[in-house]
Structure 1
Amino acid sequence: MSERSAKHSTFVIERNYKHSPARVFAAWAGQAAKASWFPKAEEFDFRVGGREFNRGGPPGGPVYTFDACYQEIVQNTRIVYSYTLNMEDKRMSVSVTTVEFESVDGGTRLIYTEQGVFLDGLDTPEQREHGTKVMLDRLGEVLDAQ
């Protein structure tokens, strides 16, 4: 049996977008809008207690499952959700994420905070932070192209 481990970590990423908080928030709140920069959800119920669920991965590679529950939603201000990430049938991590939207200089400062436990060496906080930065950069590209 492989050794079991739990690594706890918190990371914060800030991004500035030249779009209003309402526009940036909408990119998280609508299924079609979010699918333009985040893997398309099989289930998307954007409300407190609602679920976001998707599966996918590289061709021929493992299937990853993202399963989130929205804990708090404050229009144009804050989204808090908890989620698990699995690789095939193995739990990789459990996280609580807060996404804050602040109005600054005619745009938005997005503050993304993730508090997670990364399990059994299947993922690391550093890998997750890197992937999240790529995702938030993609969000900016999509907003700029609209």
Structure 2
Amino acid sequence: MAVEHQSFTIERSIRACPGHVFAAWTDPALKRRWFVDHEGPGWETLDYALDFRVGGREHGRWKMAATDVTMAGEHANETVYLDIVDGERIVYAYTMAMDGRVHSASLMSVEFEESGGGTLLRLTEQGAFFDGSDGIERRKGGWEWLLGALASALAEEVQDA
């Protein structure tokens, strides 16, 4: 089985203070709003749990209907938190699986920096992608989409306040 090692960094300016952006990763209800309940047509959440602390775990399982043959099946995410600096940094390791077969393992760092009254969020993933993986480009695209969902969830929080 071949392993492809790849990494990418995404920087995103978010119009919310670093404390609020950090909370979007740590508060189970808010994280679920942008990370889990963003499902599009054909996605169904099977289960999700977040225990945000060093050594804590995050787990999710989703099912994708056959609308996209390459993505159809059950997807699972298993995360363990390795380092947390409140308001500044989160480092975690995670695996992704499809239909019970792990296809990637990654180390992720998420950094939060005050910038012009908002936050510069820097996300860096270092991944090992195994045969049959979604690959680096699809993974990066998925994170671009999720960070857009994060920014929208935070904008809704401001409107609701």
Q: TM-score of the superposition, structure 1-length normalised?
A: 0.94
Q: Which residue of the other structure, out of 22, 37, 51, is the alignment partner of 1:25?
A: 22
Matched, 1:7 2:22: no
Cα deviation 1:23-42 (Å, max 9, x = unaligned): 00000001100011002662
Listed as ranges, the gaps of 5+ residues in structure 2 are 38-46, 67-71
SS at match of 2:20: helix
Q: 2:133, 2:109 → 1: CA distance?
A: 23
Q: Indicate the percent of aligned positions where both proteins have the same amino acid.
A: 41
SS at match of 1:145: helix
Matched, 1:131 2:142: yes
SS at match of 1:28: helix
* Alpha-carbon shift at residue 44 of structure 1 (Å): 1.1
Q: 1:27, 1:136 → 2: CA distance?
A: 11
Q: 1:80, 1:8 → 2: CA distance?
A: 18
Q: Which residue of the other structure, out of 44, 52, 57, is the alignment partner of 2:50?
A: 44
SS at match of 1:96: strand
> 1:103-142 counterparts in 2 under 5 A?
103-142=114-153
SS at match of 1:19: coil
Listed as ranges, the gaps of 5+ residues in structure 1 are none
- Count of matched residue pairs: 143
Cα deviation 1:24-79 (Å, max 9, x = unaligned): 00000011000110026622110000000010022353100100000001101000
Q: Which runs of 4+ in 1 moved over 4 A?
A: none
Q: 1:64, 1:142 → 2: CA distance?
A: 23
Q: Which residue of the other structure, out of 64, 67, 70, is the alignment partner of 1:58?
A: 64
Q: TM-score of the superposition, structure 2-length normalised?
A: 0.85
Cα-Cα RMSD: 1.2
Matched, 1:16 2:8: no
Contact kept, 8 Å, 1:100 with 1:111, in 2: the verdict is yes
